Structure formats: structure tokens, C-alpha cells
A = this chain, B = another copy of it.
Amino acid sequence: MAYTLQNLSDIEEIKVLKHRYFRGIDTADMALLGGLFTEDVAVVYDGGTYRVSLAGREAMLEFIANSFHSGAAAMHVGLMPEIAITGDNSATGIWYLQDVFIDLEKDDHTFGTAIYTDTYRREGGAWKIASTHYDRVIEVLTKFSLTNGRVSVQRLATTGRKPDERTDISHLIHWDE
């Protein structure tokens, strides 16, 4: 079944929306991120050793601001979208996540992948993320010092929250161990 011009336009807008999300988190661009979610966004992330579960844009932004902090170096890329327009102002999306997260404060290095299943809603003419859930496909943990790497550029050191600016988000994360 062929896509209409409206479908293709919506799909391109939704791709750009999600691309901005990933660019926003890795650079802690909170102004950019502020416009990407619905007020009632629902979020669930199933990792190997954690489960994040939260509701609402305010909680989401607080979660991001504290996760992408000044001690981290992060790469999150959303790839291979499968977008379906389900109504005039609603859509679903599947994405493949590849991520590297280095927490220099904890000497942790995480490499992983996951599959996202999202829903999107158009509000006031702009597509927004209404719900987002990922489930890990692979996750590999190591101590960063054991990789023999040296971080020579770390954008979040400048843009991420410093220790005294951070707030407690532990109620949003359940750790298995």
C-alpha cells in the first residue's frame, strides 16, 4: 500500500523529531529537548541491570538532565526507523538504538543496542513523542579504565549538570543489582 504525500511528509517530520531527541540528549541541549515530548509522555526503558519507568514531560526532562551529566560521555544513535501513520495526528515507530555510555565518575563503560517502540502525536501542528519504550537486544559492560582509552573530547563536561546541580532521580530507576 503506497504512502501518500501527506504520509511521507509526516514520516520525515517524525524522523527529524527523533533525530533531535538523540542529538539533544548527547549534548544535554535541554532547550531543544523541551519541545519534543507531549505533556503526558510515558517512558519505559528495559536495560540489563535497570528499568526506567516514568510519566510526564517534567519527569522526563529531569531524568535526562541528571543522566546526561557532566561526568558522562555519551553516544545514542537511533537508526533504521519503521514509521507507520495510524491517524491524522497519530503514528507509531520502531527504531534500533546503538549506544555507548561512559560514566567517568564511576569508571563504567556500557555498549548496547535496543529496539524502541514509540507512539507520536501531532499537537498544534508539531509531532511529539507521546510514548517511548525500549527493550535491550545486547548490552556489554566493562570498566572504562580496562579499555585503555582516554577521553579527549567530552561535550557533556561543559553542557551537563555539575555534581551540585544534580537532583535525585533514583525513584525513576529500578536497579536489579
Q: Are B151 and A140 in contact (CB under 8 A)?
A: yes
Nearest residue in B to A16 (C-beta to C-beta)? B82
CB distance from A83 to the nearest CB of B (A): 8
Q: Are B74 and A138 in contact (CB under 8 A)?
A: yes
Number of this chain's copies in the assembly equals 3
Q: Whole-angstrom distance between the alpha carbons of A147 and B146 in the complex?
A: 8
Q: Are B115 and A136 in contact (CB under 8 A)?
A: no
Known A-B contacts A8-B8, A79-B79; A148 and B147 likewise in contact (beta carbons under 8 Å): yes
A2: chain B residues within 8 A (beta carbon): 6, 9-10, 13
Chain A residues with a Cβ closer than 8 Å to the other chain, count: 60
Q: Whole-angstrom distance between the alpha carbons of A168 and B147 in the complex?
A: 33
Q: Are A113 and B26 in contact (CB under 8 A)?
A: yes
* Residue among B8, B74, B75, B111 making CB contact with A98, cutoff 8 Å: B75
Q: Are B153 and A48 in contact (CB under 8 A)?
A: yes
A153: chain B residues within 8 A (beta carbon): 47-48, 112, 136-139
Q: Which of A1-42 contact B (CB under 8 A)?
A: 1-3, 5-13, 16, 18-20, 22-23, 26-27
Q: Which of A32-58 contact B (CB under 8 A)?
A: 47-49
Q: Are B82 and A20 in contact (CB under 8 A)?
A: yes
**1/0 per residue A67-102: CB within 8 Å of B?**
000000111011111100000000000101010101
The residues of A with any CB-CB pair to B shorter than 8 Å are 1-3, 5-13, 16, 18-20, 22-23, 26-27, 47-49, 73-75, 77-82, 94, 96, 98, 100, 102, 111-113, 115, 125, 136-143, 146-155
| Nearest 6 CB-CB pairings of A with B | A48-B152, A139-B153, A19-B80, A48-B153, A136-B153, A146-B148
